[in-house]
Amino acid sequence: MTATFFVLILLLGVVTANVVGNHIKWLPLPMLYIISGLLLAIIPFYRHFLFNPELFMFLVVTPLLYNDAQNASRYWISRGAINILSLSILLVVTTVLVVGGLINWLFPLVPLALAFTICAIVTPTDASAVSAFAQPNPKFQIPFLILQNESLFNDATGFVAFSLALSAFMEGNFTWSNAISLFLVEFLGGLLLGAVIGIVFHHLRRWLISSADDSPLIMIVLELTVPFLVYYLAEELELSGILAIVAAGLVQGVENDNLRFVSTKMQLVKTNVWEILEHALTGIIFILLGLSLPTITMAISEQHKNLLGLLVLIGVSLYAFKFVIRLLWTRYLVWMHIKSPHRWQDSWLMAISGASGTISLSLAFLIPTNLAHSFIDRNSLIFIVAVIILLSLTVAAIFVPLITKATPDDTAEAHKHQWLREMVMVAMNKVKQQAAEHPAESQLVTDALSQQLHQHSHVNKRRLRQIYQLAYNAELAAIKELEQSNQITAVESHYYQEFISMSLYTVNNNLLKNFWLRVRFGVHTGRMSQNLQATQNMFLTSPLIAEQYYWKREFDKHGEDFAKIEDAGYHAAERALRTSRRQHKDTVELHLVQRFYLQRHRRINYGEPDPVTLYQTFLLAFHSEYEFMQQAISAKKLTVASAQTLQEHIVYDEMAYLQNNDAFTPQ
């Protein structure tokens, strides 16, 4: 139970960091995760938390690597094989040997094998973390593709180099012949095993699809078992579990490409599951670093009081050496696929983007607890790695946005919210054209579409009450004018004023008072109808809606035309709201008040909407959005990337309607 609660705490920390990250763009998300971990370390129960590194590797890192592999572009991997060999193997080996030797020479207290170990830990790059800092800029598409492919394979090389260096230190013997042979066996053996298991699961998945057994439950659970099974078998055979996972993921990625429109529901569910899992596991890794840092720092301080400053200097020096080698390597030993007019700028971007992240942190946690040395122990190594991670992410967060800053010609993606708004407005106007023929259905669809225009806006409660009061005053004046011109009786005017006053009272009150109104309406309805079902229905209905149906029934009972009075009041309120929009602009508060009056007008004046007509009206709205998007592409006003974003929005809207069509029925 304690472990389960701890996992829940970690997930809440991930959620909190993401919420904060949405509003504090300048602070990298991994750092927010680390801060969450530091705050969690304040709790006494988690202050000295320890976890099993091997279990951490199996449960956390394994699925992350598998997902990265299956999402990698096979096209660019095949085209960039030379760069993958250069960056993911040769650069990693060079960095480990050269920088490790320099660290041992500058800081003799760090044994050569441990210097190699630290370098192996920090060579894997975190392309996904860095890409979050970049601004959309097409001219840097190739460098980021190279970085993504590199980060996929240098993870595996870093793991193998880490294993060799650590073994050399722990066992005390090291020969180049054994190291090279072991490297080749682990490297090639892991790739072969992962590819074979991936092919087996590929045929199994194909068989399930052909047998119509491709439900998301079966397929997703089956796929989630693949990385764990592959890693377990590889480790049992003393092969590289990491490379086996990468190979299996690449095979599954090829199969995903071949599926195309086959088993589409499974593919959509799978994509969402993996996306959530990846973000959650990445966040947990960095939170665990923040949680562990206070304990590690205190342990180092207690052991050697003046060691912390030296460890920071080692971390900064290692990052600087690694950066220089990476800058020169990416400038002269990387093929850019196409000729680039800004070659040095590309190299600076790739050098800065070689930040250490998730995998480096995972490797640091895999250092055995029994590693012993007079100065450098497990805590010291993790601390050095933490310094490098924080430093590399900070540098990337500062300079990547500056390098990728888009020119005015490259900022089409920045207008995606404006394009979305225009697309929704076009759909609303198209639906409104059939309002005369199908008023109830048109109003329902227009209302559903209009909510998207203000979904990310904060509501000012004071401003909302003011607009409700404005509409109420306009409606009240219209009703009094009807009474004075003898178009309605004094009794009708009195009770209608009571109705709108009660509505104003309801919309301006909190949940507790609205609950009390539900009770009042429920009890009153029960007394009047002597019907338990009617009482229950009224209690479960929103007070605003209950008021409207109640007063309509009461007016009809006395032979009075409630709809006619409401129609006059509605149009008076609408005129006042339109005037307010011209004076102040369209705000979320104004939108909410307009929605209230539109919904009230529909309930009182129109009959129940026809389900078939409602379905057709939604199809009309979606079709008009597609037409808008196609026309914008044809006119070269919209890029394909922006169009894909809009298309994704339409597709998800369609899915939401199909899966929750009851939510769009009148209430």
DSSP secondary structure of 357-381: -HHHHHHHHTS-TT---SS--HHHH
Q: What is the pLDDT of residue 422?
A: 86
Quick check: 495 and 551 in contact, CB under 8 A? yes
Write down the residue that tokens 């209009």 correspond to: 450
Q: Nearest CA to 442 among 628, 590, 658, 609?
A: 609
Please say if the pLDDT value at position 309 is more than 90: no
Please say if the pLDDT value at position 535 is more than 70: no
Q: Nearest CA to 285 among 443, 434, 109, 126?
A: 126
> What's the average model confidence in pLDDT over 327-337?
83
Q: What is the pLDDT of residue 635?
A: 83
Establish how many alpha carbons lie within 13 A of residue 473's alpha carbon, considering only the half-sphere containing its beta carbon: 8
Distance CA 87, CA 71 (A): 19
Q: Considering the chain, what percentage of its residues have pLDDT values greater than 90?
A: 8
Distance CA 155, CA 147 (A): 12
Average pLDDT of the chain? 79
Confidence of residue 526 (pLDDT cuts 50, 70, 90): low
Q: 280 φ, ψ to 5°?
A: -65, -45
Q: Name, of 308-322, 354-368, 440-454, the range with top average pLDDT.
A: 308-322
Q: Name, of 237-251, 315-329, 429-443, the range with top average pLDDT.
A: 315-329
Q: What is the pLDDT of residue 632?
A: 86
Q: SS3 of 137, please?
A: coil
Q: SS3 of 339, please?
A: coil
Contacts of 133 (CB under 8 A, 6+ apart): 28, 396, 397, 400, 401
CATH number belonging to domain 2-181+272-405: 1.20.1530.20
Contacts of 593 (CB under 8 A, 6+ apart): 464, 467, 468, 471, 577
Burial of 458 (0-12, 13-18, 19+ CB in 10 A): exposed
Tokens of 621: 């709205």
Q: What is the pLDDT of residue 99?
A: 94
Q: In this predicted model, what pLDDT tens digit does every residue of 104-143 receive, in sequence order?
A: 999 988 888 889 999 999 988 876 666 666 666 667 777 7
Write down the residue that tokens 């491709």 correspond to: 214
Q: What is the pLDDT of residue 189?
A: 85
> What's the average model confidence in pLDDT over 633-661?
82
Q: What is the pLDDT of residue 494?
A: 85
Tokens of 480: 């009094």
Quick check: 142 and 337 in contact, CB under 8 A? yes
> What's the average model confidence in pLDDT over 483-490?
87
Q: In this predicted model, what pLDDT tens digit does every residue of 568-616 receive, in sequence order?
A: 888 898 888 888 777 667 788 888 888 888 888 887 887 778 888 888 8
Q: What is the pLDDT of residue 409?
A: 45
Please say if the pLDDT value at position 151 is more than 90: no
Sequence ranges of the chain with CATH classification 1.20.1530.20: 2-181+272-405
Confidence of residue 51 (pLDDT cuts 50, 70, 90): low
Q: What is the pLDDT of residue 133?
A: 63
Q: What is the pLDDT of residue 101?
A: 92
Q: What is the pLDDT of residue 388?
A: 92
Q: What is the pLDDT of residue 457?
A: 73
Q: What is the pLDDT of residue 53?
A: 65
